[in-house]
Amino acid sequence: MGIPPTKDPPNVPLLGKAEKGQLEELILQKFQAHYDQNGPGALLVDSTRVVVHGAGVEIDHGEHADPLAAVPVKTLFTALCYLSAGSPSMPREALESLATEATSVAAAHINRIAPE
Task: Please check whether residue 41 lies inside any domain of the structure.
Answer: yes
Report how far residue 17's alpha carbon sits from residue 21's, in angstroms, rounded to the nearest whole number.
Answer: 6
Task: Please check whether residue 51 lies inside any domain of the structure.
Answer: yes
Report how far residue 114's alpha carbon sits from residue 24's, in angstroms, rounded to the nearest whole number.
Answer: 22
Task: Please check whether residue 101 lies inside any domain of the structure.
Answer: yes
Give residue 88's pLDDT. 87
Give residue 16's pLDDT. 73
Task: Please check whether residue 30 lies inside any domain of the structure.
Answer: yes
Task: Please check whether residue 29 lies inside any domain of the structure.
Answer: yes
Give residue 13's pLDDT. 56
Quickly list DSSP for 91-112. -GGGHHHHHHHHHHHHHHHHHT
- SS percent in the chain: helix, strand, coil, step 5: 50, 10, 40
State which residues form the domain around 90.
17-111
Task: Please check whether residue 21 lies inside any domain of the structure.
Answer: yes
Residue 114 predicted with pLDDT over 60: no
Q: Over the chain, what is the mean pLDDT? A: 88
Name the packing angle between helices 95-111 and 77-84 (round to 10°): 130
Higher model confidence: residue 17 or residue 92? 92
Are 94 and 82 in contact by the 8 Å Cβ rule? The answer is yes
Domain count, the chain: 1
Q: 53-104, pLDDT tens digit by residue? A: 989 999 999 999 999 999 999 999 999 999 998 888 999 999 999 999 999 9
| pLDDT cut 90: percent of the chain above it | 72
Task: Please check whether residue 6 lies inside any domain of the structure.
Answer: no
Task: Please check whether residue 59 lies inside any domain of the structure.
Answer: yes
Buried-exposed string 13-32: b where 16+ CB fall within 10 A, e elsewhere: eebeeeebeebbebbbebbe
80: helix, coil or strand? helix
